[in-house]
Amino acid sequence: MVETVTTREPMSGAALRRAGAPAPQLSVVVPVYNEEESIPHLHQRLTAELEKLGITYEIIAVDDGSRDRSFSLLSDLARHDRRWRVVRFRRNFGQTAAFSAGFDRARGDVVVTIDADLQNDPADIGALLEKIGEGYDVVSGWRERRQDPFLNRRLPSMIANRLISWATGVYLHDYGCSLKAYRLDVVRGIRLYGELHRFIPAIASWQGVAVAELPVHHEARRFGKSKYGISRTVRVVLDLLTVRFLLSYGTRPMQIFGLLGLLASSLGVAIGAYLSWIKLVYGAAIADRPLLLLAVLLIVLGVQFVSLGLIGELIVRTYYETQAKPIYVVREELNGA
């Protein structure tokens, strides 16, 4: 569980509501980790673009344990511009935790996430909102002309996007793009762990949401440096296994582990039966046959898989029942008068 520890936060969303502050139409969530040079430009560009849209908005900047002047710059902004809210983590918890803290506090009907490093263009927010207006629940930016190095960035990302799309059934060109828009209830219904933020569209698909994709601009990083390296690819693939499992067997682990167990043990029993047959009927020596080892291995494996499935079932029940989590999401409900 990712605990979002904060200090000196001006006011939580609930506290603001209690204080009677009207909810803005849009919440922009910005994760910030050592981005001191970018922050003044970010403020200026966001303000210019959002004011053009003529809507009420708030910007929730989440300082993810920066060690530079990011926090002091952000707190200056919040002092001068009431639309800026700042959350400061005690240490670096990662981008997913930062998004999560932003989502927990967001009050706008629509939540937009954007990077602090100016690689995304705030001018695209208007188009994202238009798409949401058309009825989509999630609109994902697609960095069609991505300005990052090919070999260690674009190529692994291309492969990862194909893989994620195929495995989750939600086809997107660019899962990695931070510039995305969501309806508030979509992000509220999602708990994020580890580094799962890039899978939000796929995780949200469990709720039955309409997902759209929109080409957005992308610029090369001007200040500071990227917080990630090539090792991210491996972690994305591992995360994908988790997401894939949760999406398809999250509430019925027995069906996957049980199936594997049944397959393994049936094969083991079949091989064992064959060996017994040739031993008993033909008197063949089977003690030194590798097949015997395989039979034993498969049966033991089968029993383990089935046990794992049963334990999984128990855990799923605990998971849903301790938190009174529903295993479904209702779109609407009509009760005759």
**How far apart are the C-alpha atoms of 150 and 6, rounded to whole Å?**
37
Q: Is 157 in the site for Mg ion (CB under 5 A)?
A: no
**How far apart are the C-alpha atoms of 180 and 111, rounded to whole Å?**
8
Comparing CB distances to Mg ion, the nearer of 115 and 239 is: 115
Among positions 27, 119, 120, 161, the unique one binding Mg ion when judged by CB under 5 A: 119
Helix (H) or strand (E) holding 319: helix 290-322
- The nearest distance, CB 321 to ligand UDP, in angstroms, is 34
Residue 63 contact partner, candidates Mg ion, ligand UDP, none, CB within 5 to 8 A by sort of partner? none
By three-state DSSP, how is residue 141 classified? Answer: strand
CB atoms within 10 A of CB 63: 28
Comparing CB distances to ligand UDP, the nearer of 92 and 233 is: 92
Comparing CB distances to Mg ion, the nearer of 223 and 320 is: 223
Structure tokens given for 154: 């674009």
- The nearest distance, CB 247 to ligand UDP, in angstroms, is 24
- Interface positions with ligand UDP (CB under 6 A): 31-33, 35, 64, 92, 94-95, 98, 115-117, 119, 178, 226-228
State how far the alpha carbon of 54 is from the alpha carbons of 49, 156, 178, 279, 323, in Å: 9, 39, 23, 85, 40
Residue 289 contact partner, candidates Mg ion, ligand UDP, none, CB within 5 to 8 A by sort of partner? none
State how far the alpha carbon of 107 is from the alpha carbons of 38, 41, 59, 78, 201, in Å: 25, 25, 10, 17, 20
**How far apart are the C-alpha atoms of 95 and 139, rounded to whole Å?**
19
Closest CA to 203 of 166, 177, 168: 168
Residue 254 contact partner, candidates ligand UDP, Mg ion, none, CB within 5 to 8 A by sort of partner? none
Total of residues contacting Mg ion (CB under 5 A): 3
Comparing CB distances to Mg ion, the nearer of 102 and 272 is: 102
Comparing CB distances to ligand UDP, the nearer of 63 and 137 is: 63
- The nearest distance, CB 157 to ligand UDP, in angstroms, is 9
Comparing CB distances to ligand UDP, the nearer of 27 and 178 is: 178
Comparing CB distances to ligand UDP, the nearer of 95 and 205 is: 95
Q: Determine the residue type at 27.
A: S
- The nearest distance, CB 42 to ligand UDP, in angstroms, is 9
Sequence-ordered list of residues with C-beta below 8 angstroms from that of 36, at least 6 positions apart, any chain:
66, 68, 69, 70, 73, 223, 224
**How far apart are the C-alpha atoms of 126 and 22, rounded to whole Å?**
22
Structure tokens given for 111: 């939540």
Residue 213 contact partner, candidates ligand UDP, Mg ion, none, CB within 5 to 8 A by sort of partner? none
Among positions 117, 174, 213, 239, the unique one binding Mg ion when judged by CB under 5 A: 117
- The nearest distance, CB 198 to Mg ion, in angstroms, is 13
Residue 56 contact partner, candidates ligand UDP, Mg ion, none, CB within 5 to 8 A by sort of partner? none
Residue ranges that bind Mg ion, judged by CB under 5 A: 115, 117, 119
